[in-house]
């Protein structure tokens, strides 16, 4: 069964950095893209960033552009999210997701991880 497991979340001070990892297993096909979404308390889940698997094209929400960097290791079937200059408003549960088919990079992800908590607070 396809599985995505996030790790690396935690508590960090404003201005600090964290690196999240998402390890994929049980996939018998290549992802079209993998992405990160987040959900803050009382808010809907929102797109953060994504990367296409074959060619490494990246996409970022305006709110994180210039601060977050998505990367991948195809051999390890792992995607990373380097989060820099973190702000309190970045506090959320961060979810890794896999998109199987071409289409809008913002929607229609087919597999989801359980999420990892990121808390930005002094």
pLDDT digits (tens, 9 = 90+) for 102-116: 999 999 999 999 999
Position 81 scores a pLDDT of 98
Pairing, β 58-60 against β 46-52: antiparallel
Position 46 scores a pLDDT of 98
Is residue 3 within 8 Å of 61, Cβ to Cβ?
Answer: no
Give pLDDT tens digits for 86-95. Answer: 999 999 999 9
> pLDDT above 70 covers what percent of the chain?
100
In this prediction, the residues of the chain whose per-residue pLDDT falls under 70 are none
Position 29 scores a pLDDT of 87
């Amino acid at each position: 069964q396809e599985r995505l497991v996030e790790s690396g979340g935690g508590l960090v001070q404003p201005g600090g950095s964290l690196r999240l990892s998402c390890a994929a297993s049980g996939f018998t096909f290549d992802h079209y893209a993998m992405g990160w979404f987040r959900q803050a308390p009382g808010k809907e889940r929102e797109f953060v960033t994504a990367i296409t698997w074959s060619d490494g094209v990246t996409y970022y929400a305006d709110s994180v552009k210039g601060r977050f960097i998505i990367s991948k290791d195809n051999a390890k079937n792992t995607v990373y999210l380097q989060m820099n200059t973190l702000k309190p408003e970045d506090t959320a549960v961060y979810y890794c997701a896999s998109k199987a088919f071409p289409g809008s990079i913002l929607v229609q992800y087919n597999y989801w991880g359980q999420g990892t908590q990121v808390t930005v607070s002094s």
